[in-house]
Structure 1
Amino acid sequence: MHRTASILALALSSPALAAAAPLSASTDRAWIAASDANTRLLLEAEGQFDPETISQNGVVAFDGRASDLGPKLEARRAAALAPVRAEFARRLAATDDANVRQDLAILIGAIDQQLERDRLNRRHFLAWTDAPAAIFEGIKGLLDEQVAPARRAEAVELLRRYVGDWPGTTPLVDQARARFEETRAPGLLGPTRVTLDRALANAETYAKGIRDMFKEYKITGAERALAKLDAQIAAYTAWERATVRPLAREDFHLPAEVYAFQLKERGIDIAPDALIRQAQIEYAETRAAMIALAPRVAKEKGWSQTDYRDVIRRIKQAPVPDDQLEASYAEVIRTNESVIRREHIVDLPSRPMEMRLASAAESAASPAPHMQPPPMVGNKGEHGVFVLPVGVGGNDPKSAYDDFNSRAVQWTVAAHEGRPGHELQFSAMVERGVSQARSLYAFNSVNVEGWALYAEAEALPYHPLDGQLMALQARLLRAARAMLDPMLNLNRISLDEARRILTEEVVQSPAMARQEIERYTARAPGQAGSYFYGYTRLLQLRVETEFALGSRFDRLAFNNFVIGLGLLPPDLVAKAVREDFVPAMRGDAPAASNQIK
Structure 2
Amino acid sequence: MMTKAPQLFSTLPPQEVIVKRVPIETQAGAAGGSYIPPALDASRPGVFFINLKDMTSISKYSLKTLTYHEAVPGHHFQIALNMLQTDIGLMRQNASFNAYIEGWALYSELLASEMGMYENDPWGNLGRLKAEAYRAARLVVDTGLHHKKWTRQHAIEYFAEATGSTQKEVTSAIDRYIAWPGQALGYKLGMLKLVELRAKAQQALGEQFDIRAFHDLILLPGARPMSVVQADVEQWIKAQT
1:408 is aligned to 61
Give the secondary-structure state (helix, strand or coil) at the position aligned to 2:49. strand
1:552 is aligned to 208
1:483 paired residue among 132, 140, 157 = 140
1:426 paired residue among 79, 97, 100 = 79
Whether 2:110 is the aligned partner of 1:447: answer no
Aligned ranges 1:336-485 → 2 under 5 Å: 336-341=1-6, 344-346=7-9, 347-349=11-13, 352-376=16-40, 379-392=41-54, 402=57, 405-435=58-88, 436-441=90-95, 443-461=96-114, 462=116, 463=118, 464-485=121-142
For 2:47, give the aligned amino acid: V
Deviations 1:371-391 (A, max 9, x none): 112344xx2443321111111
Aligned ranges 1:84-163 → 2 under 5 Å: none
Q: Tell me the TM-score normalised to structure 2 length.
A: 0.87
Distance (whole Å) between structure 2 residues aligned to residue 510 and residue 434 of structure 1: 46
1:582 is aligned to 237
Distance (whole Å) between structure 1 residues aligned to residue 50 and residue 8 of structure 2: 25
Aligned ranges 1:32-71 → 2 under 5 Å: none
Offset, 1:507: 1.6
Aligned ranges 1:228-377 → 2 under 5 Å: 336-341=1-6, 344-346=7-9, 347-349=11-13, 352-376=16-40
Deviations 1:348-406 (A, max 9, x none): 34564212111123323423311112344xx24433211111115xxxxxxx751xx43
Distance (whole Å) between structure 1 residues aligned to residue 45 and residue 151 of structure 2: 42
The answer (yes or no) to whether the contact 1:384–1:426 under 8 Å persists in 2 is: no
Offset, 1:508: 1.1
Distance (whole Å) between structure 1 residues aligned to residue 113 and residue 25 of structure 2: 32
For 2:52, give the aligned amino acid: V
2:163 is aligned to 506
Offset, 1:546: 1.2
1:223 is aligned to none
For 2:93, give the aligned amino acid: S
Distance (whole Å) between structure 2 residues aligned to residue 367 and residue 555 of structure 1: 32
The answer (yes or no) to whether the contact 1:417–1:452 under 8 Å persists in 2 is: yes
Instruction: Determine what percentage of the aligned residue pairs are the same residue.
Output: 26
For 2:104, give the aligned amino acid: W
1:325 is aligned to none
1:126 is aligned to none
Distance (whole Å) between structure 2 residues aligned to residue 531 and residue 355 of structure 1: 23
1:521 is aligned to 178
Offset, 1:452: 0.4
Give the secondary-structure state (helix, strand or coil) at the position aligned to 1:529. helix
Gaps of 5+ in 2: none
Deviations 1:389-442 (A, max 9, x none): 1115xxxxxxx751xx4332111100000011001111112335452232234x
Offset, 1:514: 0.7
For 2:124, give the aligned amino acid: G
Residues 419 and 349 from structure 1, CA distance in 2 versus in 1: closer, same or farther, beyond 3 angstroms? same
Residues 490 and 385 from structure 1, CA distance in 2 versus in 1: closer, same or farther, beyond 3 angstroms? same
Whether 2:198 is the aligned partner of 1:542: answer yes
Distance (whole Å) between structure 2 residues aligned to residue 372 and residue 362 of structure 1: 14
For 1:384, give the aligned amino acid: G
Max Rg structure: 1
Distance (whole Å) between structure 1 residues aligned to residue 31 and residue 13 of structure 2: 28
Distance (whole Å) between structure 2 residues aligned to residue 380 and residue 500 of structure 1: 44
Distance (whole Å) between structure 2 residues aligned to residue 447 and residue 556 of structure 1: 18
1:568 paired residue among 224, 228, 238 = 224
For 1:574, give the aligned amino acid: Q
1:196 is aligned to none
Deviations 1:311-333 (A, max 9, x none): xxxxxxxxxxxxxxxxxxxxxxx
Query: Number of residues paired by the alignment?
Result: 235
For 1:582, give the aligned amino acid: I
Give the secondary-structure state (helix, strand or coil) at the position aligned to 1:338. coil
For 2:232, give the aligned amino acid: A
The answer (yes or no) to whether the contact 1:537–1:570 under 8 Å persists in 2 is: yes
Offset, 1:550: 1.3
Give the secondary-structure state (helix, strand or coil) at the position aligned to 1:511. helix
Distance (whole Å) between structure 2 residues aligned to residue 367 and residue 479 of structure 1: 19
Deviations 1:103-148 (A, max 9, x none): xxxxxxxxxxxxxxxxxxxxxxxxxxxxxxxxxxxxxxxxxxxxxx
